[in-house]
């Protein structure tokens, strides 16, 4: 089954702190709490879903992590515990060439898609934008017995 997703919200600039968004209010202001203390609101079962934090998808996390390594923003050993098999050696060889490194502009992941190759295995592709150039990055994620996702293969498009 093919599933394709894209990031609908452009990445936020890094110089502004994130803001809360409330779709019920036009200005995006946080909802009023009617004077109850925060501890009482947290224990109320009706407000528990509101307080739940959405976890990012493993495809998004690994795309951002791999991009940081392949663009030279992070060292290769930063991915050591997130890789399995030959993926770390392949990543080290790729990072040495710096395939996604760009002058002046910071590369960003534009679109992400994935294919479910089997139970506990995802094959992911991503489009990386640097200014007006688009590059390709592909990697495979496998879920281990400890239920953690690890990258087992990584490739980039031709230079």
Summarised one tens digit per residue, pLDDT across range 26-81 is 555 555 555 555 555 455 555 555 557 888 899 999 999 999 999 989 999 999 99
Q: What percent of the chain has pLDDT over 90?
A: 48
What are the residues whose beta carbons fall under 8 Å from the beta carbon of 81, sequence distance 6 or more?
A: none
Residue 16 in this model has a pLDDT that exceeds 80: no
pLDDT-wise least confident of 3-7, 86-90, 111-115? 3-7
Dist CA 17 CA 89 (whole Å): 36
pLDDT at 142 over 80: yes
């Amino acid at each position: 089954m093919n599933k394709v997703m894209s990031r609908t919200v452009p990445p936020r600039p890094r110089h502004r702190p994130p803001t809360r968004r409330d779709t019920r209010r036009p200005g995006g202001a946080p909802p009023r709490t009617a004077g109850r203390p925060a501890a009482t609101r947290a224990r109320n079962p009706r407000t528990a879903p509101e307080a739940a934090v959405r976890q990012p998808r493993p495809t998004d996390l690994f795309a951002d992590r791999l991009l940081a390594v392949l663009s030279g923003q992070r060292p290769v050993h930063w991915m050591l515990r997130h890789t399995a098999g030959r993926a770390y050696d392949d990543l080290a060889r790729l990072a040495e060439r710096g395939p996604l490194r760009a002058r002046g502009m910071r590369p960003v992941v534009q679109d992400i898609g994935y294919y479910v190759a089997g139970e506990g295995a995802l094959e992911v592709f991503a489009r990386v934008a640097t200014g007006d150039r688009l590059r390709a990055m592909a990697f495979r994620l496998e879920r281990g017995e400890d239920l953690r996702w690890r990258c087992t293969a990584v490739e980039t498009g031709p230079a």
